[in-house]
Each structure stands twice: as structure tokens, then as C-alpha cells.
Chains A and B, each alone.
Chain A
Amino acid sequence: MAEIRIENLRKEFGAFSAVEDSSFVVRDGEFLALLGPSGCGKTTTLRMIAGLELPTSGKIFLGGEDVTFNRARERDIAFVFQLFALYPHMNVRKNIGFPLLAQGVAKSEIRSRVEETARLLQIDHILDRSVSGLAGGDRQRVALGRAIVRRPKCFLMDEPLGTLDAEFRDLMVRELRELHNRIRATTVYVTHDQLEAMAMADKIAVMNHGIIEQFGTPQEIYNRPATMYVADFIGSPPMNFLRFTSGLQKGRRSVSVDGVDISVPEIQQDLEEGELALGVRPEDIRFSDASSLRGAVYGSEYHGTNQIVAVEMAKGLVKARVPADHSFRIGETVGLELNYDKLALFDCKSGRVVVSSRYAEHHYG
């Protein structure tokens, strides 16, 4: 087990810059999710950690050792591929034992370790089956088995649940997390699915266009998004942005959106006049006739435990998550009350959050 440290990692493919100046640390035993849309550089980052791609510049440390230019086989890591990459000409037992064979482990020990791993993953009954006939979940477990049998320094997983159907995915998310809790191996997990990342990871790195937009715990990412991109990417439906134009001074406690004063956590940054966005999560909006922030109901989606109501405001739709038992007429005028504690202000030009008392104790840079 080991810590993974990435320093100023860059990767260019010709003129295209896939990863730009990424730095982060995955502590020993931690589960990091690299989260982002396709093409954001998350898989490239993972492949550089694995040694399948060489970085253009930057350094990679595994357990304190600089492995930037080491070959994949010299890094003592395990990689779970999106399509599992189980060797089709070998049965399950041989697939799982294949990494041990490379290390020259004695046959009897390979046998016992493969069986031990199979028991851990509950696939000991299919050890002598061919991998080509296996169902998706079993293939997934075999791929995991091949990874953990070696007891490597860390695990790298590239969207390992991407090809499974939804029902099975939930099950595997749970199994993966339980497995991680049991073996506590440093893990980097690439996914585009925010729910997977939130459910499993200790830390999440949200990536976009090769840049790490934010690195933090799932709670930090959700509650205190550092950029508009993160705020928009995480959460379903995503954070609402109420856009307005204003300047900001340190110590301000309210902003004026469409002529309505809204209290916000104390601003701790001076900002010149420009376009700003007040970010509010759908669940931090309540309907209240007393509020002077008003709009017309545009439609609602019923979700059983709650409903998502879209309200048409002067500058677009705002979605609110409200209890399911309210009923609304389309076109009805409603007042919106925003949860003061949870508001965030963003500078639209830079896309970054404006530092307020809610953000002060954290560092975003």
C-alpha cells in the first residue's frame, strides 16, 4: 500500500493538451475518484499513473519513489480496465493467477492465493469456467480478482462499471466499497458518473478539459463547489444560477438580483463590476408567498419522495426540489425563498466562486 503523489503532470498529444498541470495526493488507503465528462483527461491521468502513457512533463511518486519513467511492470500497481481485458484464451483460474505467474510465484502458492481471492470475491465456484461465457458482473469480479491477487501498491480502475446495467451497477458499487473497506488499498477510480464517485470515494477530483477543477471530499465538492463547472456537473438537477450584474466589496452580506435583495454569507473579497451568478441547489429553495423573488411555475417532475418544480424567472428556469405533496398549477406565480446558509456567488467571467464566510476556512486555488 502506498501514497500516490502527482506533481504538475501534463500530457500533450500533438497540439492537443489532454492533461494540464495536475497535482494531487492520494493518501495511503484512500479512494480517489477522478470524475469528469469524456475527454476531460481523467483516463489519460490514470494511464500515466499506471505507466501506460508517458507524461509530457511532471512527476509521479508511488510510495515516495519517483516512478515517472518506470515501466508499467516495474510499478507494482493493478489496473482494472473498462472492458475488463480478461484473457479470452484462459479460464478464470488462469486469468487471476496470471500476474503471480509473472512474479515467479510457486505453483502451489498461486493456487492457494487464487482460491483465497476467489473466495473473497465469491467467485470460487466458477474458477474453472472459461471467461468468455461469464456474465458482466462475474467478469467484473474476475478482473478485480486479477487485480487484488497480487496485493499491489495501489489499484487503478478505469470506469470498471461502465458496461454493467444499472441494477448491477448499484450492487457492484456497494461491493467495491466494501472491498475497499476490507483491504484498504490506495485506489484511483475513473468515472463519469457522479453518483458512483459520491457513493464510493473518500476524495473526488473533478476534471474538465484536462484541468482539475476541484479536489476534495464528496461533501466539499457538493456543498462548496469551487467553480461554476463543478456546481453544474455535480447534483441532479444541477445547481441553479441566478445571474445578475454587480460589483462586490468585502463585508457585503446581501446582493440584489433583479431588484430583490437576497442575504448571502459575508463576502470576503473585492470584485469589480461584472456578471455574477448566485448559485443555489434545488433543495435549498422553498416556496414562500412572503418572498419577493417571484416566478411562474413552468412544470414539475414527480419523483415519489419529492418533486422537481421548474419556475420561470426573468432570466431563465430555476429548479426547486420540494415535498411531493404540494400541487402546482402551471403558470401560477410563486415566491422563492433561498436557504441563506447554502448560497454561493460565482464570478461568471472566471467561473470561480467568490470567497465568502462559507468558503473562508477552505483553500481553493
Chain B
Amino acid sequence: MSSVNTAHSVVEPSRTSKRIAATIVIAYAVITMIPLVWIVLTSFKSPPDSISYPPKIVFQPTLEGYCNLFTTRTRQTSEYITSLGAPTSTCDEITRSRNMVIAGPSNYWPRFQNSLVIAFGSTFLAVSLGTLAAYGFSRFKVPLAEDLLFFILSTRMMPPIAVAIPIYLMYRELGLSDTALGMILLYTAVNVSLAVWLLKGFIDEIPREYEEAAMIDGYTRMQAFFKVVLPQATTGIAATAIFCLIFAWNEYAFAVLLTSGAAQTAPPFIPTIIGEGGQDWPAVAAGTTIFVVPILVFTILLRKQLLRGITFGAVRK
């Protein structure tokens, strides 16, 4: 009996241990999901429901949070509201039921667009630069390569916010404050070190013979890089891109400090919703829910690569 178990423990876990493992994993997943579920539920609650105690699990769902998120409203007398024509949209209807009319669109959508441009832009730059740099470090004799790599890594050794004041002053001088370009450059600078280190590992694993074969087959090194190395580094590039994107997407501290208007991203904008018309938790929750979507989609699209990227190095050939 015991010998059978030992043999199985190496090749295939027993049914019981599989169940225990599954239970733990599912429990962990559920616990981590709770805040997310709470946010999504709250986004569909009416403001009174959202602050009721004990929290309501069953409630009348409403799009009020989303309407409030995307619009600015003004309070009007009921006479004025009845004098208006029939409501033109669901949001109109909801707003009027609260004795308000829609005054115009809110800043959420432009802020969300800023987030998209800045996060994807900086990710693209960081990964492109990182791939080229990692390839260089991996394949060529770079003078002082070890020191350079350490220097690149050392930029991540302090909390980025430690350099916030100098960067703030620099950006003001350069006119990069509150510009999308400034934020892209900043996030690229932070992410490129991560990208170089992650990608160097991936590219080190790609045998040189592939490029050498391509170069003998008549291609230049650049062509060999694009035609042979890059297609094989997609796993690493995808994993790196997700890490970079998550950082740039979620970044709050620099965004608060360096953006206030035109280039403001969603993270610093969402808390400001609270101040506008009372504590509008459903609108905040709606803003957060929508904010999660792009990362979710990106991660799902690349999940195969991400999984391989994370377990990378665990299994050597």
C-alpha cells in the first residue's frame, strides 16, 4: 500500500490530494474574487442600496451608477423637469427620477482614453526597447554588460515615488507635465528595466543557431531577428507586455502628481467622482468595473503565453 502511494506521488497525485488541492485553489480564488464581485454588484445598485447595512445581496439592479459615471447632472425643480419633453434615454429617465437633468458628459471617458493611450503606448515602447536591448545583451559582447544590467535593474530598487519630486520639477521645466507623451515616457522608463530583464531570460533560451542559420541562409542580422528570433520570443514578449501593461494601467502615484487635466488617467479620476454629488458609490464602482475590463480582455487573450511566461524557467529542457 505505502509503496504504491509513493510511486503514485511522483507520477500522479492521488484522488484525495487532488481534491484537497482543488479545494484550496478554489477557496483562494473565491476569497480573491470577493472585492471584485462586491465592486461589480455595487456598480448595479442604487445609491441607497449601496450604503445599506447589512449589504444587500439581492437588490433591484439599476444602471444609475453607470449613468452617473458618464454624465454630469444638475438638480432642477420638478416643474422644470415636467416641462421638458419625453426622456430620450434610459439615463435621462433615471436622472429625472432623481429630480435632476443631464448637463453634459463627464470626464470619465476622456480619462479612460488617456489611460488606454498611455498604458498601451508605454507598454509598446517598453517592450520594443526591451526586446532590442535584451537581444543585444544576450547575443553581443556589450562592454560592461554586467554593470549595465545591474544599473538597469537598480532603477527598480527604490520605490518610483522616491523620485517623484525631481521628476515633477523636470517635467514642469520641459513642458511634459500633464501630457500623454510625458506619461508614456515615464512609464516606459519604469517598465523598460523589467522588460529587459524578463526578455533577456527568454531570448537567452532561444538557441543562437536559429539566427546563425538564417544569416547563412542569406539574411541580415536584423532580418534574422525579425523573421526567426521574434516569432520564437512571442511567449516572453506577451508575458512581459502584460506585466508592463498592468503596471502602467494601475499606476496611481505619478498620475496624481503629474496629471490633472488633459492627460489625466482613470486611476486619479475615479476617486474624484466621490466629491462631485455626494458619495456616489455606484458611480465609483461602475468606473472601477469598466476600468478592469481592458486588462481582463488583454490577459484572457494572452493567457496561454502568460501562463507559459510565468512558469518560465521552472522547467528546463
A residues in contact (CB < 8 Å) with B: 50-52, 71-73, 75, 77-79, 81-83, 85, 87-89, 98-99, 102-103, 146, 150
Which residues of chain B from 214 to 259 have a CB within 8 Å of any chain A CB? 214-220, 223, 228, 231-232
Residues on B with beta carbons closer than 8 Å to the beta carbon of A88: 232
* Contact (Cβ within 8 A) A102 B218: yes
Are the CB atoms of A73 and B212 closer together than 8 Å?
A: no
Give, as a whole number of angstroms, the nearest-CB distance from A65 to chain B: 17
Question: Quick one: which of A72, A78, A79, A89 has the most chain B CB within 10 A?
Answer: A72
Query: Contact at A73–B216, with CB atoms within 8 Å?
Result: yes
Name the residue on B nearest A104 (C-beta): B218
A83 touching B207 by the CB < 8 A rule? yes
Beyond A73-B218, A102-B219, A103-B218, is A87–B212 a contact (Cβ under 8 Å)?
no
The 0/1 profile, CB within 8 Å of A marked 1, for residues 198-223 of chain B is 00000000010110111111111001
Q: Which residues of the partner chain B approach A85 to less than 8 Å between Cβ atoms?
A: 207, 209-210, 212-213
Closest chain B CB from A186 CB (angstroms): 15
In the complex, chain B residues whose CB is within 8 Å of the CB of A52:
212, 215-216
Q: Main secondary structure on chain A at its contact with chain B?
A: loop
Q: Given that A81-B209, A81-B212 are contacting pairs, would A146 and B231 also be in contact in the complex, using a CB cutoff of 8 Å?
A: no
The minimal Cβ–Cβ distance linking A354 to chain B, given in whole angstroms, is 44
Inter-chain contact total with CB atoms closer than 8 Å: 55
Q: Write the nearest CB–CB distance from B94 to chain A, whole angstroms.
A: 52
Give 19 pairs: A residue, B residue, CB < 8 Å, sorted on A: A50-B212, A51-B216, A52-B215, A52-B216, A71-B215, A73-B217, A73-B220, A81-B213, A82-B209, A85-B209, A85-B210, A85-B213, A87-B213, A87-B231, A99-B218, A102-B219, A102-B223, A103-B218, A150-B218
Nearest chain A CB to B200 CB, angstrom units: 20
B21 → chain A, closest Cβ, in Å? 31
Residue of A whose beta carbon sits closest to that of B231: A89
**B220's closest neighbor in chain A, by CB?**
A73
**Do A98 and B214 touch across chains, with their CB atoms under 8 A apart?**
yes
What is the bound-complex CA distance between A81 and B217, given in angstroms?
12
- Of chain A, the residue at the smallest CB distance from B230 is A89
Contact A79 B213 (CB under 8 A): yes
Interface residues of B in 70-117 (CB under 8 A from A): none
- Please list the 6 inter-chain residue pairs (A to B) with the smallest Cβ-Cβ separation, ordered nearest first: A102-B218, A85-B209, A99-B217, A85-B213, A89-B231, A81-B209
Instruction: State in angstroms the CA–CA spacing of A79 and B217 once bound together.
Output: 8
Minimum distance in angstroms from A79 CB to a CB of chain B: 5
Interface centre among B216, B217, B223 (most CB of A within 10 A): B216
Chain B's interface: helix, strand, loop or mixed, by majority?
helix
Q: Which residues of A contact B212 (CB under 8 A)?
A: 50, 52, 72, 79, 81, 85
Other than A52-B216, A73-B216, A85-B212, give 16 A-B pairs with Cβ distance below 8 A: A71-B215, A72-B212, A73-B219, A79-B213, A79-B216, A81-B209, A81-B213, A85-B209, A87-B213, A87-B231, A88-B232, A99-B217, A99-B218, A102-B217, A102-B218, A102-B219
Residues of A near B228 (CB, < 8 A) are: 87
For the complex, what is the distance from the CA of A98 to the CA of B219, rounded to whole Å?
A: 10
Interface set, chain B 174-195, CB cutoff 8 A to A: none
Contacts of B215 in A (CB 8 A): 52, 71-73
Residue in chain B with minimal CB distance to A52: B212
Q: What's the Cα separation between A150 and B219 when bound, in Å?
A: 13
Residues in B whose Cβ lies below 8 Å from that of A77? 216
CB distance from B294 to the nearest CB of A (A): 28
Residues of chain A within 8 A (CB-CB) of B216 are 50-52, 72-73, 75, 77-79
Chain B positions within 8 Å of A82 at CB level: 209
CB distance from A341 to the nearest CB of B (A): 46
Return the chain B residue nearest A158 by Cβ: B209
CB-CB contacts of B119-150 with A at 8 A, as 1s and 0s?
A: 00000000000000000000000000000000
- Tell me how far the C-beta of B202 lies from the nearest C-beta in chain A, rounded to whole angstroms: 14
With the chains together, A81 CA to B211 CA distance in Å? 12
B209 and chain A: residue at smallest CB distance? A85
Report the minimum CB–CB distance from B237 to chain A (whole Å). 13
A87-B231 Cα distance, complex, nearest whole Å: 9
B217 contact set on A, CB distance < 8 A:
73, 78, 98-99, 102, 146, 150
CA distance A85 to B212 in the complex (A): 9
A243 to B24: give the CA distance in the assembly, Å.
Answer: 73
Residues of A within 8 A of B232 (CB): 88-89
* Distance to closest chain B CB from A163 (angstroms): 13
Q: When chains A and B are docked, how far (Å) is the Cα of A87 from the Cα of B216?
A: 14
Residues of chain A within 8 A of B220, CB atoms compared: 73
